[in-house]
Amino acid sequence: MGQNLARNVASKGFPIAVHNRTSAKTEEFVATYGHEGDIVGGATMADFVGALERPRAVMIMVKAGAPVDAVIEELIAHLDDGDVIIDGGNSLFTDTERRVRSLAARGLRFLGTGVSGGEEGALHGPSMMPGGSHDAYAVVAEVFTKIAAQVDGEPCCTYIGDGGAGHYTKMVHNGIEYADMQLIAEAYDLLRHGLGLGNDELHEVFSTWNAGELSSFLIEITARIFAVRDDQPPVAGVAGAPGHLIDQVLDQAAQKGTGRQTAQEALELGIPVTAITEAVFARALSALRDQRLAASTVLPGPVPGDARVGDDRQGFVDAVRDALYASKVVAYAQGFDQLRAAGAEHGWALDLGTTAAIWRGGCIIRAQFLNRIRDAYTEHPDLANLLLAPYFTELLARTQDNWRRVVSEAVRLGIPAPAFSSSLAYYDGYRRAQLPANLIQAQRDLFGAHTYERVDRPGTFHSAWE
């Protein structure tokens, strides 16, 4: 990532110095890519810092956590008042807040910057979410806005807010990424094992979806994945015909933690981000492969003969598409709701319309419908929930029958669809004027005298229920 970002900066005509703690890597980088721009290698930290103009702007691209602090400590011995340190990794926002404060006390400015888009994005234009020192942003704004992805002539980069606002926004981006990926995986499972589509058919279905309202980076790469053939020779004694690579990939999802952090922070705020949280749990469940293999021989599912989708195959494909779209809308609505609440909690003036705008290009969750989200927040900056924006209300009205059908079919077929079904449950909960929470309040008051409010008069009440 760091190398590609450096090449991106150089290719835009900005001079850049690079440093890696392994000096051979620095030399190799300069030897390979030095011709792409004004690139200088610094064998030592002192050489590297010495090559920079003041006020210096140094971007760190290392693993989140202790490595960031270690590099900062090494770096600051060489920096001067007013220099800027930028952390472009997936740091926890509370770490970023601490670094902003501690570096300010030492006369340095800090920008915790979410950078999304993977290796390709870093090279050709990522989505960038800088937060922290506002005047530090002024130092790097020209470079950042030039190296970022551009959509309709607008850079996918804006100053997000002070403290840890940039990394918080990136964390929620990643949470939505988890939900989006899980929803696509559930659609895959239903089409593969419910409908029995093969990989070539899945490639066609996802390619078709990518040409419509669902058009997005994640749908596009999903379509591409189904077309890839395995180039490895069969392993002697291991079952499995040569075929598509996807069928050889072990079904255990890894995670580095930003999805989990999003869910944890949502719990702290009391904001229901059910799709993101279910996506994190789904990865955790997938990791229990040994237990799943054992349980698969013991725990019964539906009667095998019943586990078939009806004859209307195209109808079911369309229903899964609608369920995917509706669930995605819920997942994004929940993520934006979390950003709204976090902004209020932490005192960040987050502009949700602009956040949607800078996610339209470069990042992993870039999708056509982010234009609609941008429009919704631009028209109504105080929108309580994205589901209430007319475009999304109409979309949910149009897709909800198919959404319900798919969730019912998933239950009937015994195919887990936790993100589809929890998104639908959220939708049904959010649109209900009356929920059964009155009973929960009554129970709390009965066993713990926790009191309750009444619908017919103001005040706080406790009753002798027995």
Active site residues: 170, 177
Q: Which is nearer to ligand 6PG, 118 or 416 (CB)?
A: 118
Contacts of 253 (CB under 8 A, 6+ apart): 282, 283, 286, 287
- Four-residue CA torsion sign, 436, 441, 443, 444: positive
Which residue do the tokens 């792409």 mark?
Answer: 36
The answer to the question of residue 335 lying near ligand 6PG (CB under 6 A) is: no
The answer to the question of residue 258 lying near ligand 6PG (CB under 6 A) is: yes
Separation of CA 391 from chain center: 23
* Shortest reach from residue 286's CB to ligand 6PG, in Å: 12
The answer to the question of residue 355 lying near ligand 6PG (CB under 6 A) is: no
Q: Which is nearer to ligand 6PG, 244 or 260 (CB)?
A: 260
* Shortest reach from residue 382's CB to ligand 6PG, in Å: 28
Read off the amino acid at residue 335: G
* Shortest reach from residue 461's CB to ligand 6PG, in Å: 46
CA distance 247 to 11: 39
Backbone φ/ψ region at 58: left (φ over 0), alpha (ψ -120 to 50), beta: beta
* Shortest reach from residue 255's CB to ligand 6PG, in Å: 4
Q: Which is nearer to ligand 6PG, 2 or 41 (CB)?
A: 2
- Rounding to the nearest 10 degrees, give the CA dihedral for residues 358, 183, 117, 346: 50
Residue number, nearest CB to ligand 6PG = 116
DSSP state of 248: G
- Helix residue spans in 190-215 (DSSP H): 199-210
Residue 416 tokens read as 């887990």
Half-sphere exposure of 11 (CA within 13 A, CB side): 13
The answer to the question of residue 422 lying near ligand 6PG (CB under 6 A) is: no
The answer to the question of residue 130 lying near ligand 6PG (CB under 6 A) is: no
Please identify which residue in 41, 117, 166, 335 interacts with ligand 6PG, judged by CB under 6 A: 117
Read off the amino acid at residue 429: G
Q: Which is nearer to ligand 6PG, 176 or 333 (CB)?
A: 176
Q: Map the footprint of ligand 6PG across residues 84-113, applying CB under 6 A.
A: 90
CA distance 424 to 409: 14
Q: Which is nearer to ligand 6PG, 26 or 174 (CB)?
A: 174
The answer to the question of residue 63 lying near ligand 6PG (CB under 6 A) is: no
Residue 320 contacts residue 309 (beta carbons within 8 Å): no
Number of residues forming the site for ligand 6PG (CB under 6 A): 13
Q: Map the footprint of ligand 6PG across residues 139-198, applying CB under 6 A.
A: 174, 177
* Shortest reach from residue 157's CB to ligand 6PG, in Å: 14
* Shortest reach from residue 259's CB to ligand 6PG, in Å: 6
Residue 44 contacts residue 72 (beta carbons within 8 Å): no
Residues that bind ligand 6PG (CB under 6 A): 90, 116-118, 174, 177, 254-256, 258-259, 363-364
